[in-house]
Chain A
Amino acid sequence: MTTLSPIPAPVIQGNQIPRKRLYGIMAEFHDPAALMAAADKVRMAGFRWWDCHTPFPVHGLDQAMGIKRTILPVLVFGAGMTGTMIGFCLQAFTNAASFSIWALVWVTGYPFLISGKPLISLPAFIPVMFELTILLSALSAVGIMFLFNGLPRWNHPLLANKRFLRVTDDRFFIVIESRDPRFFASRTEQFLKDLGAKAVEMVEA
């Protein structure tokens, strides 16, 4: 087992090091099975501020980590329905209304009479309503996903770590952050080593 510590070793004594300098401790694994087993143990040890980092989504890791289902789909449904309403109101106003509203400038609808069809001809409005539903749902799904994930974020302690570069290639990591109430540098380091990590390393903040 290899242990690389970029931070001078003597500093780590109990919980003595200043919290700010240490982002957390990182444990490296070489295959999903080992990671899953370890993640299970980290969760059971009661840590809260920790995460697994993998090159691809590992099936079943969510359960092992105890991640709750995201509410993203509910929000996306709301956005989709908003799109439907926007689609209807847009068409009903521009093609059937004769009053004015303020939309950046004061604008007035124009009642188009086409072949004697009703002004609000819902069947003809459906394609645009549908497209706007999809558009708003898709954009909100992606936007909310990135928002909840705190991305884009171009600076992160982990991104500055040499060993962590392989997380997008073929390495699997567990990172326990120093802000976790159960975090004690030396004890957590030993804990991760005992989980069968191939390497354990301090990550500077």
Chain B
Amino acid sequence: MSSLPVNRQTALPGFQESDNTAENPGVRAPLVLNMDRFGQVTRQVCQVAESKKPPFAWYAAFTISLGLVGLLGFCVNYLIFTGVGVWGLNNPVMWAFDITNFVFWVGIGHAGTLISAILFLFRQKWRTGINRFAEAMTIFAVICAGIFPGIHVGRVWLAYWLFPIPNQMEMWPQFRSPLLWDVFAVGTYFTVSFVFWFVGMVPDLATLRDRATGRIQQFAYGLFALGWRGSNRHWHRYERAYLLLAALSTPLVLSVHSVVSFDFAVSQVPGWHTTIFPPYFVAGAIFSGFAMVVTLAVPARQLFGLKDLITLRHLDNMNKIILVTGCMVGYAYSMEFFIAWYSGAVYERFAFINRAFGQYWWAYWIMVSCNVITPQLFWFKSIRTSIPIMFALCLVVNIGMWFERFVIIVTSLANDFLPTSWDFFTPTWVDMGTMLGAFGLFGTLFLLFCRYLPMIAIAEVKATMPQANPHWSGYAAHDDHGHAGGSAQPSFASPDALRSPGSGPDGGPSAP
């Protein structure tokens, strides 16, 4: 239709056109800015995938990421052909960078599931702006995580021993080991997250299919859109299935990092053998994951012109969650210390004093300053809504959370029961290369996703617009086509109680 009005105001009372962070009880903050037509949302999201060339920064980032993937490939192959001795591992520090990276990446993934599942169950509509790429982040993070235990097993060609594959050797995995629970937890987590992501994307892939002009795009998007045609009978089952997935993913995401924490908590190493680990790991995972979502969202919305869909309010909300989970993490750190003293266990007490003042004191204090002190700045709204500051703080949180895992794993192992077997872990260049390479892999996958897939859940965002409410009557009276046939418009055109007169889309009074 040629008569699509552009750039109508959507400002609601109490909200600026470009700043929707104000709190106005009684008025729902707008989640989509500067747009009041569904088509505008479609175009805004699809232009990223449809543009002939992405912005220059995309090429720059992609080149760097791809280079790091090369480094990862080299390091992993070098490890496989030489042996795990190329890492800085020693006896007693048998786990170091590999497991640190594994726990770090699994943790990153948790924010995506929290956004897509838990916020969905709580009917937090702002999740729609960020859930798609947060879920993508989850999947890519779990891929990165999966690499590390995979190559850490030593004889990589026997990694299939992790799975209960029917065999005639009476050789089975030992199901009482938390390491095996991990295989099932992370495997399920990846599968369910992937399915969740894909199912959510099917209607949007159909949008891209219907807009595609090239043969290749039509075929590729068409193939994965599975012939979706927006039938309401389909939507009905789709929404049910989606709700079920959310309800299933919620306990799943809580279980995954709990199981990861069992890898430590079930052992008897001082500093690991604590009951606080499962909730503490989950809170830390969500904390680091949200920091990563903000780290990715800030450049992405800038680069691809999505500021009206990933608004300041979305970022503000995420920063609030970072503040809350940061406080939980801080509480866990102090409670660990308290229990170490209160338990009266000498090894436990030593482990914690050693963490803060032993050979790895610097790692511990990096962790505390990054994870406990930094997020406290988010108490101030001016900081929560300042793009450069939040970006910097979230990078700091990412670093802090990496160090948290390093501190837990390495300090506990390096100085355990017998002082004669103590040692100091120093990473080698292969350790460093593999860690950087994993970031490269993550970046590569994420950049490809941004370029070719709908970065924002188009259908879900549309459904959160006030215009999507069947009782909304905003531009009905001003529609150029009029309402022929005298349909039931009058009976449905009850004014939305939340919209004050004069707030109609083009400044005129709302109908009726």
* Distance in angstroms between the alpha carbons of A111 and B98 in the assembled complex: 32
Contact B237 A149 (CB under 8 A): yes
Judge if A1 is at the interface, Cβ distance under 8 Å.
Answer: yes
Instruction: Tell yes or no: A84 within 8 A of B by CB.
Output: no
Residues on A with beta carbons closer than 8 Å to the beta carbon of B37: 170
Give Cα A38 to B471, complex, Å.
Answer: 14
Q: A131-B255, A138-B248, A146-B226 are known contacts. Are A196 and B172 too (CB-CB below 8 A)?
A: no
Task: Assess whether B185 is interfacial by the CB under 8 Å rule.
Answer: yes
Q: Is there an interface contact between B207 and A149, defined as CB atoms closer than 8 Å?
A: no
| Residues from chain A with Cβ under 8 Å of B42 in the complex | 55, 168-170
A130 to B238, CA, bound (A): 24
Q: Give the total number of A-B pairs whose CB atoms are below 8 A apart.
A: 261
Chain A residue numbers with a CB within 8 Å of B39 are: 169-170
User: Residue of B at shortest CB range from A194?
Assistant: B485
A94 in contact with B185 (CB, 8 Å): no
Contact indicator B484/A1 (Cβ below 8 Å):
yes
- Report Cα–Cα, A158/B237, bound state, in Å: 20
Cβ–Cβ < 8 Å partners of A159 in chain B: 227, 229
Are A31 and B467 within 8 A (Cβ)? yes
Set of chain B residues within 8 Å of A56, measured between Cβ atoms? 38, 203, 459-460, 462-463, 468
Residues of B within 8 A of A94 (CB): 164, 172-173, 175
Contact B229 A167 (CB under 8 A): yes
Which B residues, 401 to 440, have Cβ-Cβ distances below 8 Å to chain A?
none
| Residue B491 at the chain A interface, CB threshold 8 Å | yes
Which B-chain residue is minimally distant from A91 (CB atoms)? Answer: B175
Q: Across the interface, which residues of A come within 8 angstroms of B234, CB to CB?
A: 149, 151
Chain B residues 226-256 with CB under 8 Å of chain A are 226-241, 244-245, 248-249, 251-252, 255
Question: Which residues between 90 and 129 of chain A lie within 8 Å of chain B, taking CB atoms?
Answer: 90-91, 94-95, 103-110, 112, 114, 117, 121, 124-125, 127-128
Query: Which of chain B's residues have a CB closer than 8 A to the CB of A195?
Result: 485, 487
Residue in A60, A94, A108, A125 with the greatest tally of chain B CB atoms within 10 Å: A94
Size of the chain A interface, CB-CB below 8 angstroms: 86
How would residues 154 to 173 of chain A score, 1 for a CB under 8 Å from any chain B CB and 0 otherwise? 11101100001111111000
| Chain A residues with CB below 8 A from B235, complex form | 54, 57, 61
Contact of A105 among B167, B199, B259, B486 (CB under 8 A): B167
Interface residues of B in 245-291 (CB under 8 A from A): 245, 248-249, 251-252, 255, 259, 262
Question: Assuming the A-B contacts A33-B492, A127-B181, A145-B237, are A197 and B485 also in contact, with contact meaning beta carbons closer than 8 angstroms in the complex?
Answer: yes
User: Judging by beta carbons under 8 Å apart, are B207 and A169 in contact?
Assistant: yes
- Max chain A Cβ within 10 angstroms of own Cβ: one of B180, B251, B469, B485: B485
Interface segment out of the listed B20-28, B442-450, B472-480: B472-480
> B158 at the A/B interface (Cβ < 8 Å)?
no
Q: Given A105-B166, A107-B167, A166-B210 in contact, is the A114-B174 Cβ separation under 8 Å?
A: yes
Residue B53 lies at the interface, judged by CB distance under 8 Å to chain A: no
Q: Which of B38, B178, B255 contacts A170 (CB 8 A)?
A: B38
A73 pairs with B244, CB closer than 8 A: yes
Bound complex: CA of A15 vs CA of B473, how far in Å? 38
Indicate whether A124 sits within 8 Å of B485 (C-beta atoms), given known contacts A94-B164, A110-B171, A166-B210: no
Contacts of B468 in A (CB 8 A): 32, 56, 58-59
A95/B172 contact (C-beta < 8 A), A55-B462, A60-B470 known: yes
Task: Give chain B residues whose Cβ lies under 8 Å from the Cβ of A52.
Answer: 231-232
B residues in contact with A108, CB < 8 Å:
170
**Do A53 and B489 contact each other (CB < 8 Å), given the known contacts A32-B468, A72-B237, A196-B484?**
no
Given A53-B230, A57-B235, A145-B237, do A132 and B489 touch, yes or no (CB 8 Å)? Answer: no
In contact, B166 and A107 (Cβ under 8 angstroms)? yes
Interface presence of B223 (CB below 8 A): yes
A204 at the binding interface (Cβ < 8 Å): no
A28 to B349 alpha-carbon distance, docked (Å): 72
Contact B188 A135 (CB under 8 A): yes
Q: Which 4 pairs, one residue from A and one from B, show the smallest C-beta to C-beta distance? A: A196-B487, A37-B488, A152-B226, A170-B38
Q: List 8 A-B contacts (CB under 8 A).
A: A110-B172, A124-B176, A131-B255, A134-B248, A141-B248, A151-B227, A159-B229, A194-B485
- Measuring CB to CB, which residues of chain B are less than 8 angstroms from any residue of chain A? 37-39, 42, 164, 166-168, 170-176, 178, 180-181, 184-185, 187-188, 191-192, 195-196, 199, 203, 206-207, 209-211, 222-223, 226-241, 244-245, 248-249, 251-252, 255, 259, 262, 458-460, 462-463, 467-473, 476, 479, 481, 483-489, 491-493
Residues of A within 8 A of B (CB): 1, 30-38, 40-41, 51-62, 65, 67, 70, 72-73, 76, 90-91, 94-95, 103-110, 112, 114, 117, 121, 124-125, 127-128, 130-132, 134-135, 137-139, 141-142, 144-146, 148-149, 151-156, 158-159, 164-170, 193-198
Q: What 7 new A-B contacts, CB under 8 Å, besides A128-B180, A151-B228?
A: A33-B493, A58-B468, A105-B167, A134-B251, A135-B191, A149-B234, A149-B238
